[in-house]
Amino acid sequence: MKVQVLQENLQRGLAIVGRAVATRSTLPITANVLLQTDKGRLKLAATDLDIAISAWVGAKIDEEGATTVPSRLITDFVSSLPPATALLEIPDRGRQVRLECARNESTITAMDAEDFPRINSISDGVAVQLEPRALRRAIDRVEFAAASDDSRPVLTGVHVKSAPHEKTGAPTLTLASADGFRLAVAEITLSALPDDPIEVIIPARALRELGRLANDANEPIEMRINAQKTQVQFAMTDVELVAQLIQGTFPNYRQLIPESSGTTCTVSVEEFKRETRIAAIFARDGSGIIRLQLQPNSGLPGTLTISARADEIGNNEGSIDAEIVGDATKIAFNSRYLQDVLNALSVEKVALEMTSPSSQGVFRPVGETDYVHVVMPMFVQC
């Protein structure tokens, strides 16, 4: 193999696929990056067996071939090189990759590309086109609510389903995640429904990586599920992400979103976030609880009081103006869950709907119908 590639292109490609490199694996080759000539370009790929990312960069192919090199070494090395043309070369049956750039030359011990896990491109199954910004926004609003411990594997994933919208009938892709204590549901309007309905569970980690990649994407992203429904592929210009789907049944979450509420409190997201951030400083040394008090004031703006106390540290209480419909009430939340949902809302105002201190709090961005977030409260004695 003999390839000439611009240092910037190689660096960018390595940064993209580097996110899929295995960090703790019993299979040593998964700590490597695959470098392979592919139809006049250089293909880079990495996988930790759960997800795989491939990227193609422009290159001048002098001789076809493939090899794998340790990801960390080549990434650190290439990113330190000056911007110039790099020459990649492996002598036949060689175990050493030679890399020459400007007046710097190095050899890196390689592992045989034949031993690298096979990454299949999916071309069968069912596909749907997604607008990158809408996808990114939906991912950012749901992925954090997925479970981080894998005691219930389906909860570490995001449930993705295509269907006509319940109310408007518009073609819609719904993303939902829940970790047992909270639930996030975001909708993306599609240009058209896929030929067959899609209903899969995608690992939250794969979507997190996709969210990063989608940042750079301008063209629609194709999501494709293979015919066996075991893998999902997201194809962008020059980049592909393939992930294993999580098998199992996602809990029926619709019933957890109440239709009606006793009290609705509408406040500025900025102010709510600020007071919550302050209260969290006190809460973190105590039980991690933030208490909310909703106080209507007939005809006039009501008050939302945000407070926290730590037995040996002290107390904090902040108030903000609130538009409150319904009775005065209170509720307590885990400070992290409250901060997470407020950080995910990229709007001016949020409505908190609740019925009792021991039933779910429902957060909705005001003026948008494509997102809802449910948080279970903390049960406190007083």
Partner 1 sequence: MPLAGPCAAYDGHDTMTRPAGPTVLHVDLDAFFVSMELLRHPELRGLPVVVAGGLGPRGVVNTCSYEARRFGVHSAMPVGRARQLCPRAVFLASDYAYYGVASQRFHSILRDYTPLVEPAGADEAYLDVAGCEQLFGDGEAIAGDIRRRVSAEIGITASVGVSGNKLVSKVASDASKPDGLVVVPLGGEAAFLGPRPLRDLPMIGPKTAEVLAGLGVRTIGELAAVAVGHLESRFGRHGLELHERALGRFDSPVLAGRGEAKSVSREMTFEQDEASEDRLRAVLRGQAERVAADLVRQGKAGRTVTLKLRFPPFETLTRSATRPSPTGLADELFETALELFERAWSENARRPVRLIGLGATNLQEPARQLRLGETLERDRVAETVAAIRDRFGDGAVKRGAELMRGPGR
Handedness of CA 79, 9, 232, 38 (dihedral sign): negative
CA atoms of 13 and 237, how far apart (whole Å): 13
259 contributes a contact to partner 1 by CB under 8 A: no
With respect to partner 1, which residue has the nearer C-beta, 220 or 262?
Answer: 262
What track of x and - describes contact with partner 1 for positions 301 through 320 (by CB under 8 A)? ----------x---------
Strand-pairing partners, residue 295, are: 303
Distance of CA 364 to the CA centre of its chain: 20
374 contributes a contact to partner 1 by CB under 8 A: yes
With respect to partner 1, which residue has the nearer C-beta, 336 or 349?
Answer: 336
26 contributes a contact to partner 1 by CB under 8 A: no
181 contributes a contact to partner 1 by CB under 8 A: yes
CA 372 to each of CA 27, 192, 254, 357, 361: distance values in angstroms, whole numbers, following the listed order: 41, 23, 11, 19, 11
287 contributes a contact to partner 1 by CB under 8 A: yes
With respect to partner 1, which residue has the nearer C-beta, 85 or 287?
Answer: 287
With respect to partner 1, which residue has the nearer C-beta, 211 or 286?
Answer: 286
CA atoms of 294 and 361, how far apart (whole Å): 12
Which of 23, 255, 260, 298 touches partner 1 (CB under 8 A)?
255
Strand-pairing partners, residue 63, are: 2
Interface stretch with partner 1, choices 28-36, 81-89, 221-229, 371-379 (CB under 8 A): 371-379
Which of 70, 132, 302, 377 touches partner 1 (CB under 8 A)?
377
CA atoms of 356 and 261, how far apart (whole Å): 9
293 contributes a contact to partner 1 by CB under 8 A: no
178 contributes a contact to partner 1 by CB under 8 A: yes
User: Cβ(374)–Cβ(183) under 8 Å?
Assistant: yes
295 contributes a contact to partner 1 by CB under 8 A: no
Which of 141, 182, 364, 373 touches partner 1 (CB under 8 A)?
182
381 contributes a contact to partner 1 by CB under 8 A: yes
Which of 88, 183, 225, 341 touches partner 1 (CB under 8 A)?
183
Distance of CA 90 to the CA centre of its chain: 37
What track of x and - describes contact with partner 1 for positions 330 through 349 (by CB under 8 A)? --x-x---------------
Q: Pick from 22, 42, 134, 56: which is nearest to 97 by CA? A: 42
For residue 267 the two structure tokens come to 């406040």
288 contributes a contact to partner 1 by CB under 8 A: yes
Q: Which are the contacts of 260, defined by CB distance < 8 A and separation ≥ 6?
A: none
Interface stretch with partner 1, choices 15-23, 91-99, 210-218, 281-289 (CB under 8 A): 281-289
Q: How many residues are listed for the chain in this entry?
A: 382
248 contributes a contact to partner 1 by CB under 8 A: no
What is residue 199's DSSP assignment?
E
With respect to partner 1, which residue has the nearer C-beta, 286 or 318?
Answer: 286
User: Cβ(245)–Cβ(238) under 8 Å?
Assistant: no
CA atoms of 309 and 315, how far apart (whole Å): 4
CA atoms of 110 and 61, how far apart (whole Å): 19
31 contributes a contact to partner 1 by CB under 8 A: no
For residue 262 the two structure tokens come to 């006793």
Phi, psi of 236 (to 5 degrees): -115, 175
Interface stretch with partner 1, choices 29-37, 74-82, 180-188, 338-346 (CB under 8 A): 180-188
Amino acid 334 reads N
Interface stretch with partner 1, choices 106-114, 178-186, 204-212, 341-349 (CB under 8 A): 178-186
In the complex, the residues that contact partner 1 under the rule CB under 8 A are 178, 180-183, 253, 255-256, 286-289, 311, 332, 334, 358, 360, 374, 376-382
